[in-house]
Amino acid sequence: MTDLNLELNVLHYSKEELEDLLNLKNNYKFGDIHKQALIVKDTIFGIESIDQGRKKQISSFLKDAMLFLQNHYIVYFFQKKLV
């Protein structure tokens, strides 16, 4: 069984590390966050050696990472508009 030795707490990652994990490029858009999270999830779910329990944990982590980055994007967007 492949475990993908990955810490599944988004709070243990920086914003930049989460962006790298989701393969987000500079100047990405809000919609890119969801799109890239789905690509990573589909890739991981295609690995047959990862058991379903671990896949569910990873899926939950990816959702949390996506929400974290989306929230950061929204805050950045509004701060930029207020300046």
- Work out the pLDDT band at 3, boundaries 50, 70, 90: low
Note the pLDDT tens digit of each residue in 52-78: 999 999 999 999 999 999 999 999 888
Q: Which two tokens mark 17?
A: 């590390």
Note the pLDDT tens digit of each residue in 6-22: 899 999 999 999 999 99
Q: Which residues contact 36 (CB under 8 A, 6 or more apart)?
A: 22, 23, 24, 28
Look at residue 26 and tell me whether its pLDDT is greater than 50. Answer: yes
Backbone angles phi, psi at 21, to 5 degrees: -60, -40
**Total-model pTM:** 0.86
Exposed e or buried b per residue across 68-83, where buried means at least 16 C-beta atoms within 10 angstroms of its C-beta: bbeeebeeeeeeeeee
User: Which pLDDT score is estimated for 10?
Assistant: 96
User: Which pLDDT score is estimated for 79?
Assistant: 83
Higher pLDDT, 11 or 4: 11
Residues in the chain: 83
